[in-house]
Structure 1
Amino acid sequence: MIVITGGKGQLGREFIKALNRAEVPYKAFDKSELDISSGEKVLSVIRDIKPDVIINCAAYNQVDRAETEYEMAYKVNVIGVENLAVAAKEVGAFFVHYSSDYVFDGKKEDGLYTEKDTPSPLNEYGKSKLLGEERVKAVLDNYLILRVSWVYGEGKQNFIHKLLSWAERDSYLKVACDEFSVPTYTGVIVDVTLKAIEQGLSGLYHLTNSGFTSRFEWARAVFEILGVDKFIRPVPSSVFSLPAKRPLFSPMSNKKISKELSVSIPYWEESLREFLGCLKG
């Protein structure tokens, strides 16, 4: 039995689709059904179900709002994660948790970030995700922490949805050309995660699509694939004066998890075409 938190988010929904296809028993909870920041509620639910695996897809991921709503980000990304880890330990469940490339400051100059690199988050969101990682490690000896980046899938809380909304509203767009990371498809995250669970993988890994790109090039690729005729102007990210400072170069290498699982993870362009092809119908 698998328990999924954050069941209505884009990653949780992707897990539900995959587990339904595979006919794997699971129970999925959204925030209204299970607020992970409540330790008492988490323990009650997990004790009742006694799952074999807990997959935490719940997260506070409003990067800019976290600068002023840090307590809320902390409640979900730190306290909530610790509550789940404690519950997993009590019932002997394997715990899977997702972190972020925003635990890094983007100042590395000799290649992609690996699991050996020291985190140094620039914003409150990144700090909360790093603290969540540390709480898992403090509670559990056996766990799987997967750092992901620029996640997109079915849902509204991602760059592609925002980009297409902007395109409907504005005559031309400005997109940052100096922010680099790896657009990562929820379908890839789910497939690799389930394979990792099946093979008994544990520890900290980076799980992204392969390659990397800028937000500007990502936006251009989306419009090209969908046939959207809209002018996009590349601009420095400083133009937007966003509350949260973001790492300018935070692509992570997926070589470690690819080697451990003997899998070849698709390049970001390949998965983007697969996802957008489904959108086009």
Structure 2
Amino acid sequence: MTPDRTDADAPILVIGRTGQLARALAAQNDAVTACGRDQFDLAQHDPAALLDHHRPRIVINAAAYTDVNGAENDELAAHALNCTGPARLAAACKARDVGFLHVSTDYVFDGTPGQAPYAETAATNPLNVYARTKHEGEQAILDANDTALILRAAWIFDARGGSFLNAILNRLDQGQPLKVVDDQISTPSWAPDLAQALLTLAARTKRPSGVFHYKGGDYASWYDFARAAAELARPHLNCEPVIEAVDSSAFPQAAERPKDTRLDAQALLDAAGIDAGDWRAGLPEVIAQRYEQRIG
């Protein structure tokens, strides 16, 4: 168990500022100080100086190299942001008795049909450079800080940024038909839901350590997710959305994607009382923000 501090007024330091999760964390808690790369480059800067300046009671690392295809040709940068940097930060937190929470990914699993839903104890087998560097980061963090808590999550989305959700909505706004894969399955995670889970953990005077899974609601394929978004966006579109289900072979990519990475989050519920989120409840909020009105 993590012997973290009890001063509730001490800041929560979030690494990352413009990402979906970092924005959600800052929006939900006034005690959050979010550091962008211009203030702290996780891959290069000294974490000790950062911690000594801000004196947080807990650090949440929401920064990562997330360009899955780009990582195939930029492994050094991906490794620095997903492994080496987080491990140095975790070690600095350990030395100062500062709690450390880190967000990882469902992609550490290969998604072999019939293996999901994955428990934390399931064998990992990353299929691409991004996933491998995230998995190596998990191991390096726990080697550096045995009180760290790592939360694996999948398919994080919000109302802004270059996410899959905004990409499909941009196409629908333009009246373009879509082809969306239906053979990649996981659990979408609404960024505010995931942020709330992390902040709940951050508030604990004692919290579990090690790797846990966060579940953002019920399971879906990318096609299911796109259809749900299109249905909510329909009143704002100039024509009926057209979305065709295809398999992954229709979109060859540099990085191989796992097919089924559904996560079993029972351990998080048992250890910390944190239940699954509900991406289907969050999606109307995202659509409403995009089109600047509430959808009932």
Q: So what's the TM-score if we normalise by structure 2?
A: 0.88
Aligned length: 276
Deviations 1:40-65 (A, max 9, x none): 3x221112222110110111000001
Q: In proportion to residue count, which structure has more helix?
A: 1
Deviations 1:202-240 (A, max 9, x none): 221111212211001110000001114221111111111
Q: 2:108 aligns with which of 103, 107, 110?
A: 103
Q: Is the 8 A contact 2:159 2:290 kept in 1?
A: no
C-alpha separation in 1, matches of 2:39 and 2:193: 27
Q: Which amino acid aligns with 1:172?
A: P
Percent of aligned pairs with the same amino acid: 27
Q: 2:99 aligns with which of 90, 94, 102?
A: 94
Structure 1 position 90, deviation (Å): 2.2
Is residue 213 of structure 1 aligned with residue 220 of structure 2? yes
SS of the equivalent of 2:102 reads: strand
Is residue 36 of structure 1 aligned with residue 42 of structure 2? yes
1:180-219 map, 5 Å:
180-199=185-204, 200-202=206-208, 203-219=210-226
Q: 1:69 aligns with which of 65, 74, 91?
A: 74
C-alpha separation in 1, matches of 2:289 and 2:160: 13
Which 5+ residue runs of structure 2 have no aligned equivalent? Answer: 1-10
C-alpha separation in 2, matches of 1:170 and 1:127: 38
C-alpha separation in 2, matches of 1:102 and 1:207: 13
Deviations 1:111-152 (A, max 9, x none): 411111111000000001001100111001101100010000
Q: 1:80 aligns with which of 72, 82, 85?
A: 85
C-alpha separation in 2, matches of 1:75 and 1:224: 40
Q: Is the 8 A contact 2:113 2:259 kept in 1?
A: no
- 1:234 match: 245
Write out the 4+ residue segments of structure 1 that deviate beyond 4 Å after TM superposition. Answer: none
Q: 1:14 aligns with which of 21, 24, 38?
A: 24
Q: Which amino acid aligns with 1:226?
A: A
Q: Is the 8 A contact 1:98 1:145 kept in 2?
A: yes
Which 5+ residue runs of structure 1 have no aligned equivalent? Answer: none
C-alpha separation in 2, matches of 1:53 and 1:108: 38
Deviations 1:6-33 (A, max 9, x none): 111111111111112xxx2x32110111
Structure 1 position 169, deviation (Å): 4.4
Structure 1 position 108, deviation (Å): 5.0
Q: Which amino acid aligns with 1:188?
A: D
SS of the equivalent of 2:290 reads: helix
Q: So what's the TM-score if we normalise by structure 1?
A: 0.93
C-alpha separation in 2, matches of 1:95 and 1:139: 11
Q: Which amino acid aligns with 1:256?
A: A
